């Protein structure tokens, strides 16, 4: 068992045999690596779904499907996919929920040379990079994140979006209520602080004029997405990539043609993806 830096400012490449049972000491070592680095890449020569799930379970509860079994999905240009097609700009999955997915696990089941990469940006590292004046400007500020409105929406519409959604699970909830305000400086369950804003879902900073909010977010995004805070993973068959969805954002550039089939598990206390897929399939975007 050993790990080494990725060719990036964050994340680790981890060398461990995941085809054999992962002993408690190794599980603890992996959990510690995840707390410290947020993104782990495991080059393997092939993993079954059960082996991927066992590795992912080192980080918490595997999301369940509607039948109560582990929820196994695919992100693929060859078969039914649990993610929309096309480019996906930087986001956290379920940034707009009170309980976003904690960890995401993708395994390169079939990836051809030139397959579309996955990009990662560290929100934890970004918090260390922002100048002191900017950090002071975001202390105690909250931002509003939404599922079905994005930053391309007119300023007036974004300014009118409020932190008044019906909580998920309550009578009257609809997908338009899938939005939430949370501190711009947030933390994951392990207490790792991060700069919590993303290009796709963050509509505005609350209690601030929309033009000032846009200017502030632009400054934050300049830091989050600067080249030295982004790692681009080129998929090789057998790669397993697991990351902390609360401190690391991900994106997919405009898709290329080569085969790309990634098997996916998620770690979360709640089974959000069942709800997401029901809404997405009813509306035809997944």
Residues in the chain: 286
**Which residue's CB comes closest to Fe ion?**
93
Structure tokens at 47: 């993993």
x/- letters, 169..208, toward Fe ion (CB under 5 A): ----------------------------------------
- Is 102 a binding residue for Fe ion by CB under 5 A? The answer is no
- DSSP for 80-149 reads --SS-SS-EEEE-TTTTSSS--SEEEEEEEEE-TTPPPEEEEEHHHHHHHS-HHHHHHHTT-EEEEESS-
* Cβ at position 105, least distance to Fe ion in Å: 12
Q: How far is the CB of 171 from Fe ion (least distance, A)?
A: 29
Say whether residue 266 binds Fe ion (CB under 5 A).
Answer: no
Q: Which residue number, 93 or 270, has a Cβ lying nearer to Fe ion?
A: 93
Q: Is 239 in the site for Fe ion (CB under 5 A)?
A: no
By CB atoms closer than 10 A (0-12, 13-18, 19+), residue 129 is middle
Q: Which residue bears the tokens 């369940």?
A: 64
270 touching Fe ion, by CB under 5 A:
no
Among 12-20, 41-49, 85-93, 174-182, the segment contacting Fe ion (CB under 5 A): 85-93
| Among residues 56, 93, 195, 272, the one that binds Fe ion under rule CB under 5 A | 93
Judge whether 196 and 121 are in contact, CB under 8 Å.
no
Q: Which residues bind Fe ion (CB under 5 A)?
A: 93
């Amino acid at each position: 068992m050993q790990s080494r830096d990725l060719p990036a400012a964050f994340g680790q490449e981890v060398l461990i045999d995941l085809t054999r049972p992962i002993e408690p000491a190794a599980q603890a070592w992996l959990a510690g690596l995840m707390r410290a680095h947020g993104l782990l890449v495991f080059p393997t020569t092939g993993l079954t779904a059960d082996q991927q799930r066992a590795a992912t379970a080192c980080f918490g509860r595997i999301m369940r499907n509607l039948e109560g079994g582990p929820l196994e999905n695919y992100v693929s240009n060859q078969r039914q996919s649990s993610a929309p097609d096309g480019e996906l700009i930087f986001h956290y999955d379920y940034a707009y929920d009170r309980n976003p997915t904690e960890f995401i696990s993708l395994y390169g089941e079939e990836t051809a040379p030139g397959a579309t990469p996955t990009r990662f940006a560290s929100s934890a590292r970004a918090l260390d990079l922002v100048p002191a004046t900017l950090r002071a400007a975001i202390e105690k500020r909250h931002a509003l994140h939404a599922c079905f409105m994005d930053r391309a929406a007119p300023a007036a519409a974004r300014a009118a979006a409020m932190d008044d959604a019906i909580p998920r699970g309550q009578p009257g909830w609809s997908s338009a209520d899938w939005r939430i305000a949370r501190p711009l400086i947030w933390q994951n369950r392990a207490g790792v602080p991060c700069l919590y804003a993303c290009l796709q879902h963050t509509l505005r900073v609350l209690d601030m004029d929309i033009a000032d909010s846009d200017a502030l977010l632009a400054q934050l995004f300049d830091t989050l997405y600067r080249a030295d805070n982004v790692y681009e993973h080129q998929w090789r068959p057998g790669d397993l990539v697991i990351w902390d969805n609360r401190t690391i954002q991900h994106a997919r550039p405009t898709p290329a043609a080569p085969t790309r089939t990634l098997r996916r598990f998620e770690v979360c206390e709640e089974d959000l993806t069942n709800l997401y897929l029901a809404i997405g399939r009813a509306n035809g975007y997944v």
